[in-house]
């Protein structure tokens, strides 16, 4: 009796450990959260505001109700997220549409997706550049136009601006530092610098 009970426990233990072995590879195969937002109305604005303080995977791995997204946005605003009052409903609508646990997300917006295929727009979005810089208006840092005007006539402007984007820092436009973007390649840095200098 004891021997048969021990055998049953041994088989059960073996099956259980086997179950763990089977489950581990499956969990390892789960898709990593996307590093870019689903194309749709409000995606760029959401990336610009939310990407300022944290990685966008905080959104892409989440599925919340509309009320929970409203609470999250309210909490971020209380923590200092720079956002205009008329932008708040746009961000909430985007989040509640594409990252809602209560309803399936619609297909990505083809028109928005086409815009995001532009390499410069993709770099601006993925690196949250538009969180701090508007094309025409200052947000946290200067507008892209202000930067272009300041560097106008400087033959070494592209190299200087690329170096600034890569290393980040503060002092040129105020005390708030720009984060470094050391992960960008030289070609990507040159692409961004050339685009910014063309905004004058």
Alpha carbons 30 and 92: distance in angstroms, whole number: 27
Which tens digits make up the pLDDT trace of 8-35? 443 444 444 444 434 434 444 457 888 7
Six-digit token string for 156: 């070494």
Average pLDDT over residues 48-54: 79
Helices (H), the chain: 2-28, 43-50, 57-60, 66-78, 88-98, 110-116, 119-126, 144-151, 157-167, 186-197
Q: What tokens were used for 6?
A: 């021990």
Distance separating alpha carbons of residues 49 and 91, to the nearest angstrom: 9
Residue 122, number of CB atoms within 10 A of its CB: 14
Structure pTM?
A: 0.55
Both structure tokens of 32: 């990593």
Q: What's the pLDDT tens digit per position in 81-134?
A: 888 899 999 999 999 999 999 999 998 876 665 555 678 887 887 787 887 888
**Which 3 state secondary structure label does DSSP give 103?**
coil
Residues forming CATH 1.10.760.10 domain(s) in the chain: 144-197
Which CATH number is associated with domain 43-111? 1.10.760
Q: 64 pairs with which residues across the strands?
A: 100
Under CATH, which number does the domain 144-197 receive? Answer: 1.10.760.10
Q: pLDDT (tens digit, 9 = 90+) per residue, 58-70? A: 899 999 999 999 9
Report in angstroms the alpha-carbon separations of 171 from 103, 136, 168: 47, 21, 10
Residue whose pair of structure tokens reads 């233990």 in the numeric block: 13
Picking from 73, 74, 59, the residue whose alpha carbon sits closest to that of residue 105 is 59
Q: Compute, in degrees rounded to 10, the torsion defined by CA atoms 156, 144, 133, 140.
A: 80
Nearest C-alpha neighbor of 94 from the set 82, 108, 83, 80: 108
């Amino acid at each position: 009796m004891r021997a048969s009970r021990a055998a049953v426990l041994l088989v059960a233990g073996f099956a259980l450990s086997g179950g763990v072995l089977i489950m581990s590879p499956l969990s390892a195969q789960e898709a990593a959260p996307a590093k870019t937002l689903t194309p749709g109305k409000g995606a760029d604005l959401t990336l610009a505001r939310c990407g300022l303080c944290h990685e966008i995977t905080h959104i892409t791995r989440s599925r919340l109700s509309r009320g929970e997204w409203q609470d999250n946005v309210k909490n971020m605003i209380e923590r200092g997220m720079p956002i205009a009052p008329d932008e708040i409903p746009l961000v909430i609508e985007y989040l509640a549409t594409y990252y809602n646990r209560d309803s399936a997300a619609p297909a990505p917006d083809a028109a928005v997706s086409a815009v995001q295929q532009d390499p410069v727009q993709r770099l601006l979005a993925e690196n949250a550049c538009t969180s701090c810089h508007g094309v025409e208006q200052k947000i946290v840092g200067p507008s892209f136009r202000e930067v272009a005007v300041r560097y106008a006539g400087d033959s070494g402007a592209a190299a200087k601006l690329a170096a600034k984007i890569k290393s980040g820092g503060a002092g040129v436009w105020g005390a708030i530092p720009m984060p470094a973007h050391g992960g960008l390649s030289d070609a990507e840095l040159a692409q961004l610098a050339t685009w910014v200098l063309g905004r004058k």
